[in-house]
Amino acid sequence: MYQGPFYQYDLDLLNRTLSEALRAASENNCSMYYAMKANHESKILEKIKSKGLGVDCVSSGEIERALEIGWASSKIVFAGSGKTLNEISYALSNDIYMIHCESVEEFELVKDLKEQINSQTLIALRINPDISVDTHSKISTGERHHKFGMSFEEATMIISEHPTLVRGLHFHVGSQILDMQYFEDLSLKVRSLIEQLPNGFKLNYLNLGGGLGIDYRNPERNPIANFEGWMNALRIHLPTSIIETISLEPGRSIVGQCGRLVGQVQYIKHKDSDQPLVILDVGMSELLRPALYDARHKITTRKEDMIEENYTIHGPSCESSDHFGFDHRLPRLNRGDLVEILSTGAYGSSMQLNYNLRKAPKSKFIEGNIYTELKIKVA
Ligand code: LLP
């Protein structure tokens, strides 16, 4: 019996996705740090950890979660443009593997604290590659004017002063990128930057971020992202003779397709428009992406009805932006029918809002024929 909205995760698909990602990574000498921001459900994290991936955290809360799950400190990297002193201190005192500094000021803070507490954590610099990509402007990060990273000139200055303290470089161009040309552009850019680095600096660690997109239009046909194409593109100008291992931080491509949000039709209104307007019991509080980025998620129902109609689908919050878009073609819907919002494993539950004090959806996991149900753990 339906007891309210829930996220349902297909752990078999997650297993297959991880296998494919690991296969491509081993062929291209890449090592992966899963970007926890995409989904921080413990059961999902346990699965990812069990396959040997490291983890990319962007807050002390995420580092804490990673340690709770059992990740070794040596498999944790820490990024983020606004790390507080407390967060830096937490990361360094736990001797995590690598901290990605995003500004000259942050580097100074990290350097001093690292010396003071004699932390084993290594330092990498995040450089803004100044590459513009064709994705939603709110998830593009790699252009000069974006707040992320430091300029190449700033990084060069730090490296010249501290050639042995800086161990690596970090880049990330944006998210939901489907055109592999952008990753080739990044590869070329990084290669030319590496060639200009001060003599005597040894690049031990190169992290090229995440960003590989998934197919939101046809998730059933393309459930697994193009890991092979992504890594090949990144390697094109950066062969192993230049850098032995490339580190990556995939988030969406690992978990995006394995999750779906299940909700129920509450009301159907027939207004002046030509499409009936459906109101669900899930909306922007449970899945913010459509309201925030006009993101389009495919919506399906298991119901069978020969007659299909086009619907506009809305959430229940008191906001006009709380809607999932027009032209969702579905078998004729009635009050009480369940619908499934697909491709919501990434940036779904992890971006939930507290707005209107709506109850958080449960999480259900399917693996083999085993079904587990958990209440979402709120940080
Ligand atoms: N590394 C860095 C430095 C990042 O900023 C991000 C994502 C990732 C890795 C992981 O990127 P992915 O592989 O998931 O594309 N909430 C937005 C996406 C924001 C991405 C933020 N950074 C959305 O729902 O589309």
For 314-355, how does the pLDDT look when each residue is reduced to its tens digit (9 = 90+)?
999 999 999 999 999 999 999 999 999 999 999 999 999 999
378, pLDDT greater than 50: no
Could you tell me the distance, in angstroms and rounded to a whole number, from the CA of residue 160 to the centre of ligand 1? 30
d(CA 25, CA 32): 8
Average pLDDT, stretch 2-8?
96
**Ligand 1 center from residue 35 Cα (angstroms):** 7
In the chain, which residues fall in CATH 3.20.20.10?
A: 11-255
Going from the Cα of 37 to the center of ligand 1, the distance in angstroms, rounded, reads 7
Q: What is the pLDDT of residue 137?
A: 62
Region 359-370: mean pLDDT is: 91
CATH of domain 257-375: 2.40.37.10
Tell me, using a 6 A CB cutoff, whether residue 287 lines ligand 1.
no
State how beta strands 308-314 and 323-331 pair. antiparallel
In the 8-state DSSP scheme, what is residue 240? T
Banded pLDDT at 123 (limits 50, 70, 90)? very high
User: Closest by alpha carbon to 111, among 77, 179, 145, 159?
Assistant: 159
Distance 16 CA to ligand 1 centre (A): 21
Which pLDDT does position 372 carry in this prediction? 72
- Is the pLDDT confidence value at 306 over 70? yes
Res. 379: pLDDT tops 60? no
Of the CATH numbers 3.30.720.210, 3.40.50.720, 3.20.20.10, 3.90.420.10, which one belongs to the domain with range 11-255?
A: 3.20.20.10
DSSP-assigned letters across all residues of 9-27? EEHHHHHHHHHHHHHHHHH
**Spacing, Cα 209 to ligand 1 middle (Å):** 9
- Is the CB of 128 inside a 6 Å radius of any atom of ligand 1? no
Main-chain phi, psi angles of 373, to 5 degrees? -125, 135
* pLDDT given at position 374: 60
pLDDT at 213: 98
User: Does the CB atom of residue 142 touch ligand 1 within 6 A?
Assistant: no
- CB of residue 315 inside a 6 A radius of ligand 1: no
Using a 6 Å cutoff on CB, does residue 83 contact ligand 1?
no
Delimit the CATH 2.40.37.10 region(s) of the chain: 257-375
Atom index in ligand 1 nearest the CA of residue 256 equals 14
pLDDT given at position 377? 47
Q: What pTM does this model have?
A: 0.95
The per-residue pLDDT for range 237-283, each reduced to its tens digit, is 999 999 999 999 999 999 999 999 999 999 999 987 789 999 999 99
Instruction: Quick: pLDDT tens for 36-57.
Output: 999 999 999 999 999 999 999 9
- Alpha carbon of 209 to those of 18, 56, 204, 330, 364: distances in Å? 17, 9, 16, 37, 29
Pairing of strands 277-280, 323-331: unpaired
297 CB within 6 A, ligand 1: no
What average pLDDT does the structure give for the chain?
94
